[in-house]
Chain A
Amino acid sequence: MSADSSPESSIAVEVKKVTKIFPNGDTPTYALREVSFQAQNGKLTMIVGPSGCGKTTLLSVICGTLGVDSGDIEVFGNNLKMMSDAEITHFRCLNVGFIFQQFNLIPTLTIVENASIPLILQGMPYRKAEEKAAALLEDLGLGKRIRSFPRQLSGGQQQRVAIARALVHDPKLVICDEPTASLDAATGHHALELLKNSACNADRCVIVVTHDSRIFSFADWIAEMEDGRVIKSCLPADYHHG
């Protein structure tokens, strides 16, 4: 299940036999069934599969926003199970960047204010955080819109703001949940291109959850899920959707 056997690659995320059950009356729902999964630094790993297969749950347990019932998750060597809630929250604050399906940009903040939030949460002074976010937005082609509000931007532009927010604090892990779900085909393609170019580097692991087969080609490694299990893990070239 290794993503790559090349000597320069290193394991960033390791999920070992993780089970997650959601209590649902008398019949509990198994969202994850002894899932094992690895993602490596310097790679864009996609978790794919049909709706309800457990992709988002796996993403949630990897970033520590959801606890597990059994198994271990190691992110950059830190076993999340051994950490307190406060430690996990702080760990996320420093090491994880998020791109959400609905972007979740705060509508009453300008895009530069939105993009600077991860830095502000880390304790960076407000002005300095804004300067750094503005520079990144400039790189992403939004330099002239930094004082705009999210509602004044197109879906693609909002996605770029979400990418800026995910990368502004230089996280070691970037988590993307259905990044193209709210975008048309061309914009989605462009967003993934941008994500791949700006997010992927040797020290960073990018995990994308998607069921959009049009963007599979951007992946360095694909893990396919079904019924709470990882059923296939391979290079995109070896992956045959459907």
Chain B
Amino acid sequence: MQRDKLANCPLQPDYTLHPMLRIALLMLFRDTSKYVMLVVGLTFCSLLMTQQSSIFCGLMLWTSATVRNIGAQIWVFDSKVEQANEVIPLREIEVTRVRSVPGVEWAVPLYVGIEQARLGDGSFENVQLVGLDTATFVGRPMQITKGRIEDLRLPDAVIIDQVGIDKFRKKGITIDVGTVFEINDKTARVVALCHANRSFLGQPYVYTTYDRALQYAKPQRKQLSCVLVEPKKGVSTKELTREINTLHGLRAFERDELFWATIWWYIKNTGIPISFGTVVLLGVIVGIAIAGQTFYLFIYDNLRYLAALKAMGARMPTLAAMVFLQAFSVGIIGYGLGVGLTSFFGYKVLKAEQPPFFMPWQVPVFVAVVVVLICCFSAVIGLIRVAKLEPAVVFK
């Protein structure tokens, strides 16, 4: 009998949802103080997480600047080397040994070392000296902004990057083509300017030929930093790397392998991830504390009205959808503002190239996941109150 009579009023689960969602948004947006508090909390949380993660990624990218600047496919080091910024000098003969490996198209020497540059006025700066193979210039700077790479073959010729130009400018010295300075008391003349990726320690890159780099460097028994290798056509880098690794005392890396080995070395051996991780964690805690608590208060303040809605016939899925929509709308707005502000920050710092900033797509995705979790947490703790709510409380 009941069912027949109820047939006149069929359940309409989905149809009732949409207009009530609008009501939910009105309830949220017009509660200005809590709405602003929620958005500010989630914006700050998103900003903190995105910005700190991006600076961390930028810093990690700086550690691999040499790998990205030189760009060879295979790098061969001393067998004890673990990452690109760690140089254990090799004997010159190692170039020939590597060349003898089947599948090698060419192999050239590379010098990388930190040297001291001194200008005419006595000011000095540590520089990252890169000695390129004289014949081929393999590992040359990707972007020459002034001058010609070929001029590197002239006596005492060097190419300096924009970081160096900026650093010396801050000391009141203008570096341009033709500027003469000293590297370890030996004359160096700028023949071109270039743009290179910034190194972890922020030292300018100074390029010269391999032979001249050895003259600039302090004398050692072994001076070769590494050997750059190109595989023959049809030979995979992985295969050739494996082959070179069979040579005693040498360790070969593929470019990507060296890139990640360098980054992982810094992650494992420095306090950088803990430092940034702590700040990101703080962002999560701030998000949960501010957003979670404010949203719970928002729900708590509206409990009486939610109970009235329940009494008037709002079903639990409808109320749940309302609460989730409220939580996610502040989440989306807070996330958008947070990531937007970080992007603006990134745009500004990328122009200045400091502090490091790199926002790969994984960072906003990670922050979005955290914000979603915070919103879910906030919505669920609010919903628990709503679910426990007896509609009869409206009569009390």
Name A's B-contacting residues (CB within 8 A): 56, 59-60, 63, 65-66, 76-79, 82-83, 86-87, 89-96, 98, 100-102, 104, 106, 108-109, 113, 117-118, 120-126, 129, 177
Contacts and interface: CB of A to CB of B under 8 A. Distances in A.
A100 B308 contact: yes
Contacts of A129: 19
Interface stretch (B8-16, B60-68, B129-137, B236-244): B8-16
Interface string B300-329: 001011011111111100100000000000
B16 A121 contact: yes
- Sort chain B's interface into a size bin: 35 or more
Given A109-B23, A113-B23, A126-B22, A121 B309 contact: yes
A88 B6 CA distance: 10
A121 B302 CA distance: 18
Q: Which has the most chain A C-beta neighbours within 10 Å: B2, B390, B396?
A: B2
Contacts of B19: 120, 123-126, 129
Contacts of A63: 311
Contacts of B20: 120-121
B306 to A, nearest CB: 9
Contacts of A113: 23, 26
In order of increasing CB-CB distance, the 5 nearest A-B pairs are: A93-B313, A108-B30, A104-B308, A123-B15, A65-B391
A120 B308 contact: no
B385 to A, nearest CB: 17
Given A120-B23, A121-B313, A126-B22, 6 more contacts: A65-B310, A77-B1, A78-B2, A86-B11, A106-B305, A117-B309
B9 to A, nearest CB: 4
A82 B307 CA distance: 23
A124 to B, nearest CB: 7
Contacts of B16: 120-123
A56 B395 contact: yes
Interface in B87-122: none
Contacts of B1: 77, 79
B312 A83 contact: no
B311 A109 contact: no
B23 A65 contact: no
B36 to A, nearest CB: 14
B312 A79 contact: no
A96 B1 CA distance: 20
Interface in B312-348: 312-315, 318
B313 A89 contact: yes
B2 A83 contact: yes
Nearest to A126: B19
Interface string B21-45: 0110011001100000000000000
A123 B10 CA distance: 11
Contact of B312 (A98, A102, A177): A98
A94 B1 CA distance: 18
